Amino acid sequence: MSRLAIGAALAVLALALAFAARPAPETAAGRVDRVSSELRCPVCQGLSVRDSPSETARDMRDLVALRVTEGKSDDAIRDEFRAAYGDWVVLRPPLLSPAGLVWLAPLLLVAGGAFLALRLARATAPPPPGPPNAAALAALRERVARDEEADA
């Protein structure tokens, strides 16, 4: 009975911990922040719209906030900016676009390097020993016979 009680208590504790650690629902401001951090500021050098103090970035943040309050999805908001500025404006370019090469290039390089390394390793490895030829076999037999004579 006490084991059952301990098991139940542990289960309740685990459930309570899981409940407490669940991700909090994202607020509207949090969404504006997140989407803005994924957009590139057009008048800055490598800054996101969230991080830039420029007036253009502020206008963009305001537009993101407006679209969030209108209930637009993240994709719809990003697409609106992509329609105006191209894929360049998203800091994580979609995979299926010319800019998506930034994702594929490292994979291609690693795959190419691994292929080359494999080829080189194969080319420099010593050839596996094949079956002995007749001369080697004769020499071996002669040696065994000598050893046997010596032992006798």
Partner 1 sequence: MTRWRWLAAAAVVALVLVLALGFRRDPRDVRSGTVGRPAPAFELARLDGGGTLAFRDLAGQAVVVNFFASWCRPCKEEHPVLLRAWERYRTSGVVIVGILYQDDEAAGLDFMRRLGGTWPTVRDEGGRTALAYGVFGIPETFFIGTDGIIAGRHVGPLDDAVLTAAIEAIRPKAPR
* Contacts to partner 1 by CB under 8 A: 42-43, 55-56, 59-60, 62-63, 81-86, 88
In whole angstroms, the minimum distance from the beta carbon of 82 to partner 1 comes to 6
Structure tokens at 99: 């800019």
* Minimum CB distance to partner 1 smaller for 74 or for 85: 85
In whole angstroms, the minimum distance from the beta carbon of 43 to partner 1 comes to 6
In whole angstroms, the minimum distance from the beta carbon of 103 to partner 1 comes to 17
94 near 81, Cβ under 8 Å?
no
Please tell me the distance from the alpha carbon of residue 111 to that of residue 115, in angstroms, as a whole number: 6
* Minimum CB distance to partner 1 smaller for 48 or for 85: 85
C-alpha of 91 from chain center: 16
Residues in the chain: 152
Helix (H, G, I), strand (E, B) or coil at 125: coil
94 near 75, Cβ under 8 Å?
no
Q: Within 13 Å and on the Cβ side, how many CA atoms surround 122?
A: 6
In whole angstroms, the minimum distance from the beta carbon of 148 to partner 1 comes to 49
* Minimum CB distance to partner 1 smaller for 84 or for 134: 84
* Minimum CB distance to partner 1 smaller for 105 or for 138: 105
